[in-house]
Amino acid sequence: MVQARDISKAFNGNEVLKKVSLDIHKGEVMAVIGPSGSGKSTFLRCLNHLEVIDAGSVVVEGQTLVSTNAQGQAQYAPEAQMRAILRRMGMVFQGFNLFPHLSVIENITEAPMVVKGLTRDQVMPKAQELLRKVGLQEKADAYPARLSGGQKQRVAIARALAMEPDIMLFDEPTSALDPELTGEVLRTMRQLAEEHMTMLVVTHEMGFAREVANTVVFMDQGSLIEAKPARAFFEDCSHARIRSFLDNML
Ligand SMILES: Nc1ncnc2c1ncn2[C@@H]1O[C@H](COP(=O)(O)OP(=O)(O)OP(=O)(O)O)[C@@H](O)[C@H]1O
Ligand SMILES: [Mg+2]
């Protein structure tokens, strides 16, 4: 579904990603864990062009988003092709990023109307179905300011799903939430996983990584240290750096 090869990225000479390679398969739920500053968010942002990579390649469902030429320069696909590729990926951020001046249902219908040129009547049934799915049908006309953090994040998930992506990227979707609101968002994500959505999830929730993810990826100092089936990752982890990280988390 997504092939990332040798992704390198520096900010002002500071190498934040050092040749990170990763394959995400259709229907796979991959958890990305690792210490603060290890490059997890940057890696996610490189996959969907929120950051421009220095070198490497990203291929999404066989379509090349970016590749690196013989001179070592990263070259992105032409604008129209790039937009089509990026549309296959939905993203949910830690901070929700809802449009404050739009109601819940308008937040969900906005992108399909603007980007896909659909009418309100065309997008409404799907938007309502998504709201039901995240358990917020009674909040359709509420504004984001009147929602709890957990509700906002569930709207953000519904909004991303409204574009019918093939893969969902999550960057610490629960870390801005009070503990009692974390569960409702994780339940929504677990449900998506059960429907075989392909998901890449940066998370500090070890329970989610262990129980819902198929694969766990550990990053440290800009490198991918390990990528393993979730059970094996937690049960027979021999890597000292990972052990000490897990000992601190659990
Ligand atoms: N726009 C930027 N400009 C300069 N440096 C940046 C920028 N974004 C990230 N960095 C640096 O890149 C490194 C990796 O950051 P990143 O946000 O990817 O880490 P992370 O693993 O997501 O950490 P956390 O768990 O705290 O979210 C950090 O040293 C950070 O300071
Ligand atoms: Mg981060």
Tell me the pLDDT of the chain (250 aa) as tens digits: 999 999 999 999 999 999 999 999 999 999 999 999 999 999 999 999 999 999 999 999 999 999 999 998 999 999 999 999 999 999 999 888 899 999 999 999 999 999 989 999 999 999 999 999 999 999 999 999 999 999 999 999 999 999 999 999 999 999 888 888 899 999 999 999 999 999 999 999 999 999 999 999 999 999 999 999 999 999 887 788 898 898 888 6
- 150 found inside a domain: yes
The preferred substitution site among 8, 41, 170 for testing ligand 1, maximizing ligand atoms within 8 Å of CB, is 41
Ligand 1 centroid–CA 74 distance in Å is 21
Q: Whose CA is closest to atom 6 on ligand 1?
A: 11
The pLDDT, as a whole number, for residue 66 is 97
Query: Is the Cα torsion angle 215, 218, 222, 225 positive or negative in sign?
Result: negative
Could you tell me which of 234, 193, 196 has the C-alpha nearest to residue 217? Answer: 234
Ligand 2 is a single-atom ion; what residues have CB below 5 A from it?
Answer: 41
41 touches ligand 1 (CB under 6 Å): yes
The pLDDT, as a whole number, for residue 250 is 67
- 249 found inside a domain: no
- Ligand 1 atom closest to Cα of residue 219: 21
- 101 found inside a domain: yes
Q: Whose CA is closest to atom 25 on ligand 1?
A: 36
Residues 152, 201: Cα–Cα separation, whole Å: 18
- 42 found inside a domain: no
- 15 found inside a domain: no
Please tell me the total count of domains within the chain.
1
Residue 164 CB contacts under 8 Å (≥ 6 apart), including other chains: none
Ligand 1 centroid–CA 175 distance in Å is 16
- 58 found inside a domain: no
- 63 found inside a domain: no
Could you tell me which of 72, 46, 40 has the C-alpha nearest to residue 60? Answer: 46
Q: Whose CA is closest to atom 24 on ligand 1?
A: 36
- 107 found inside a domain: yes
Contact by Cβ (8 Å): 162, 130: yes
What are the backbone dihedrals phi and psi of residue 214, each rounded to the nearest 5 degrees, phi first? -85, -35
Provide the domain limits for residue 117: 94-165
188 touches ligand 1 (CB under 6 Å): no
